[in-house]
Amino acid sequence: MSTKRWLAGVGLLALTGTMAACAQARPGADAPVAEPQRKAAAVAVGLSATPPQKSSAPRGFTGTRQYTIVRVGSFEGGLSLTDSGRLAEVDDDQGRQLFVPTPLGGGKYLIKSYARTSAGPLCWRVHNPGNSQPLVVQAATCRTDDARQQFEIFAAASSTPSYLISSAGAFLRTSARSGLILEELGDAPPTSSFRFTDNGPAPAGR
């Protein structure tokens, strides 16, 4: 074999190897294509990706339903606007024990109180007895323009569906010495919350 033919063969072999290497380095049409990753659906701020559990607590007070109110952790009965005219916890059927929170706007409510046999409502009203005594709730003729009859009701942050009740920053709570009182809490958390149990439609026209 002549030297020229031998050199030509070596050159052809080198060229073939180079082409094969280039073919491996270049992405071919048969190469697997990576599937693009899908982004998880965004959850709006303030919402949970997990649906909330259903609650038996009222979702809102429209003035069309009446409720009994019981303090969470109470060993007695429910709330009553008693015959003496003061809001208290009782274990019998005395006084007015059916309540209709009636919206006034701005997150405030008039809380009407009924007995099952009463002809008309009386309303909650903040009373200051003076002499350094705590604020209490007493019965009054209902007036939407009376600031002391305007209460706020909002959900308590607890595992038990319940509500906090306040007026002008003073929260309704129980006191071992004075019963149900209203007290400003400062930086302290509320100590009493209340369950509202639906008792059907509010009295019509009353």
The ranges assigned to domains in the chain are: 65-198
pLDDT digits (tens, 9 = 90+) for 173-193: 999 999 999 999 887 888 899
Cα–Cα distances in Å, from 97 out to 6, 57, 82, 151, 162?
114, 18, 8, 17, 18
Residue 199 has pLDDT above 90, yes or no: yes
Mean pLDDT of the chain: 78
Q: Which CATH architecture has domain 65-198?
A: Trefoil (2.80)
pLDDT at 145: 97
More confident residue, 49 or 139: 139
> In the predicted model, what is the mean pLDDT of residues 48-65?
56
Residue with tokens 């209490």: 136
- At residue 60 the predicted structure's pLDDT band, cuts being 50, 70 and 90, is confident
pLDDT digits (tens, 9 = 90+) for 70-86: 999 887 789 999 999 99
pLDDT digits (tens, 9 = 90+) for 119-164: 789 999 999 999 889 999 999 999 999 999 999 999 998 777 899 9
More confident residue, 26 or 51: 26
pLDDT at 158: 73
> In the predicted model, what is the mean pLDDT of residues 37-47?
33
pLDDT at 43: 29
What whole-number distance in Å separates Cα of residue 78 and Cα of residue 98?
A: 10
Cα–Cα distances in Å, from 125 out to 78, 79, 163, 195?
18, 15, 18, 20
Tell me the whole-structure pTM to 2 decimals.
0.70
Token pair belonging to 20? 């094969």
Q: For residue 22, which phi and psi values (nearest 5 degrees)?
A: -65, -40
Q: For residue 21, which phi and psi values (nearest 5 degrees)?
A: -65, -40
